[in-house]
Structure 1
Amino acid sequence: MKCSYLYVRMKRVSECGLLLLLSSFLPSHLIVKFMHKNPENYGIKKGISADRLEKHVQGIQLRRNEKKILNDINADKDGRLRFHILGDKGKKKKRIQTREEKIFILANDCLTGDPSVHELSLIQDINSICSNGCRIAKCMKEYFVYKKNFKGAVNSALLAKSFNQKLWDDSPYLLKQLPGIGMITAKALHSMGVKSFEALAEADPRKIELVTGRKYPFGNHIKDSLLSLPPKVDVKLTEMESHTHGKSKLVVTLTRISQSGQSAKRHYADMIIGLEEDNTIFFHEKIR
């Protein structure tokens, strides 16, 4: 009986710790609803759905003069958006009719890295969506880590990073994250084939100045901005012992292969080790 009581007591303490953790992200009246509305098969599309954002962005309303803009964005003739509002037959919805649909469309448009929205009121809505979305995604990541839900934790971490930088992780304009690079410069670099940090590190500074129409030493300054990035880390997975019952002992080795720059930001990474088939987390740690 003592062991049984101890188990129950430990479980309650653990749940209290989870509630305390969630309270740092969410208002108290939403915590229980949050814990019951997040399924095991959580994905990125579900993460940016408005039912997880609407309670936190109360100031966003669907205005009559915005409907045509939102309809055009959802039509997505250029194929920019990752997700769309779909109708009953699985086709793109032609008319946006609710604030929830507006939130979903604005989030998708922003995360392309090259948003088509330029109206001040919509830009303010986007900023609210991204700031609240990042906070909620971080909360979901901690929740899924607690629940040992591998897919949910990974997708939440990716979504939080995307909301924080206002870019999908595979956006062609990733260089916008660097200081001194705006949309015009990012597009110019994209036109010369520089789409990644590695490509920028190898690019000729003089060619950068030629393409962007800027004077010396702009190219050098752009390349120096790479120092603001977190250090590169090599991950090596080694099997140490193999057991007969299908279990193995693995050793994960992290090696820093570059030094951190002069950034004032405190970078960190989530190391999540799990099994995708069973959707289970075996190990999680924040690497700073």
Structure 2
Amino acid sequence: MTKYYLKFDTMKHIMQTPVNCSLEDALHVICRSEEIAWIQLRRNEKKLLNDINADKDGQLRFHILDDKGKRKKRIQTREEKIFVLANDCLTGDPSVHDLSLTQDMNSICSNGCRIARCMKEFFIYQKNYKGALNSMLLAKSLYQKLWDDSPYLLKQLPGIGMVTAKALHSMGVKSFGTLAEADPRRIEIVTGRKYPFGNHLKDSLHLLPPKVEMKVEDTECQRQGKLKLVVTLTRLSQTFQPTKRHYADMIVGSEEDNLILFHEKIR
């Protein structure tokens, strides 16, 4: 709590999360947090928020539901507003363009990322596999303002906004892998940018963490159904020197028992 400068009531919400904490549960914890309690639901925002939650285009991952499990037609509380804004932002192509709501959205993501990182450490301490995994995913998503399966993942690269991301999406470039294989001149034609934008864009892939190959082998089979496994991580060769240091959390757990068996931070 102290490490991430969280308020006491926020930490209580984290500790009260269900054992099988889902991604949606973790997001609800952030929506109830004291760090963003200053965000208020204004009367003139309700229509837009209602339309976003109706989600006619099917963009949102989660929705505000009523007692019958159907999408709620009216947003009525501050927590519901925060939940809708967070979901809208994480699509990668938010419907909100109002300055006030955009500021609220930015605050939700910045504070939410900090809270989710604290949740991750709490669940790792509790050896809660599902909670730790979902908290890590949520923290990364809020930091980048994108879900992990968003069609606009390339917005993470410098120089790519919504217009460029949509143009790349239209030519089938939806991931870092397809971008690495794309023709720089074709990129410039589709995006309407001048040479050498395509080359610079492909060079920006060097900012990403290196690819890692994982190999799992069983070395010893003991009685009572216990196995001893060796996990080998191999960083694939790089022809360039990365400009930024990256780290990763390696978590080995049992999904059935919801138990973390091994955790290590890899740098």
Q: Which TM-score applies when normalising by structure 2? A: 0.95
The structural deviation recorded for 1:175 is: 0.3
Pairing partner for 2:161 from 182, 196, 214: 182
Q: State the secondary structure of the residue aligned to 1:271.
A: strand
Structure 1 segments (4+ residues) deviating >2 Å: 26-32, 50-54, 258-266
Structure 2 residue runs of 5 or longer lacking an equivalent are none
**How far, CA to CA, are the matches of 2:14 and 2:27 in structure 1?**
17
Q: Which amino acid aligns with 2:207?
A: S
Change (3 A) 1:61 1:249: same
Correspondence 1:257 to 2:218: no
Give the corresponding residue for 2:258: 279
Contact preservation (8 Å) 2:6, 2:35: no
Question: Which residue in the other structure is 1:3 paired with?
Answer: none
User: Would the aligned equivalents of 1:61 and 1:99 in 2 still touch at CA under 8 Å?
Assistant: yes
1:148 pairs with 2:130: no
Shift of 1:56: 1.1
Q: For residue 215 of structure 1, report the CA deviation from its aligned partner.
A: 1.4
State the partner residue of 2:249: 270
Query: Which residue does 1:85 correspond to in 2?
Result: 64
Three-state SS of the structure 2 residue aligned to 1:169 is coil
Counterpart residue number, 2:35: 56
Report deviation, 1:59.
2.1
Cα deviations by residue, 1:174-198 (Å, 9 ceiling, x for unpaired): 0000011111110000000000000
Q: CA deviation at 1:34?
A: 3.8
Offset, 1:35: 5.3
Amino acid at match of 1:189: L
Q: Could you tell me how far 1:89 is from its partner in structure 2?
A: 1.5
2:62 is matched by which residue type in structure 1? F
Match of 2:73 in 1: 94
Alignment partners' CA distance in 1, 2:185 and 2:64: 44
SS of 1:49's equivalent?
A: helix
Match of 1:198 among 164, 173, 177: 177
Aligned to 1:213: 192
- 1:21-56 superposed Cα distances (whole Å, 9 cap, x missing partner): x32124453376145312211010011115654311
Residue 102 of structure 2: aligned partner: 123
2:205 pairs with 216, 222, 226, which one?
226
CA deviation profile, 1:61-88 (whole Å, cap 9, x unmatched): 0011100110110010000000001112
- Give the aligned CA root-mean-square deviation in angstroms: 1.6
Q: Distance between the aligned counterparts of 1:194 and 1:107, measured in 2?
A: 26
- 1:50, 1:146 → 2: CA distance? 18
Call closer, same or farther: CA 1:192–1:144 in 2, change over 3 Å: same
| 1:90 to partner: Cα distance | 1.2
Q: Provide closer, same or farther for how the CA distance between residues 109 and 88 of structure 1 changes in structure 2, counting only shifts above 3 A.
A: same
Q: Name the CA shift for 1:211/1:79 in 2 (closer, same or farther; >3 Å).
A: same
Could you tell me how far 1:106 is from its partner in structure 2? 0.2
Q: 1:101 to 1:185 in 2, by over 3 A?
A: same
SS in 2 for 1:172: coil
Secondary structure of the residue that 2:72 maps to in structure 1? coil
Separation in 1 of the partners of 2:115 and 2:237? 32
Spell out the pairing of 1:148-167 with structure 2 (5 A cutoff): 148-167=127-146
Structure 1 residues without counterparts, runs of 5 or longer: 1-21
Q: Pick closer, same or farther for the CA change 1:198–1:277 going to 2, 3 Å.
A: same
Give me the whole-angstrom Cα distance separating, in 1, the residues matched to 2:255 and 2:6.
Answer: 32
SS of the residue 1:23 aligns to: coil
User: Within 2, Cα distance between the matches of 1:35 and 1:93?
Assistant: 25
CA–CA distance in 1 between the matches of 2:10 and 2:45?
Answer: 32
Q: 1:68 to 1:258 in 2, by over 3 A?
A: farther
Between the aligned partners of 1:144 and 1:42, the Cα distance in structure 2 is 9
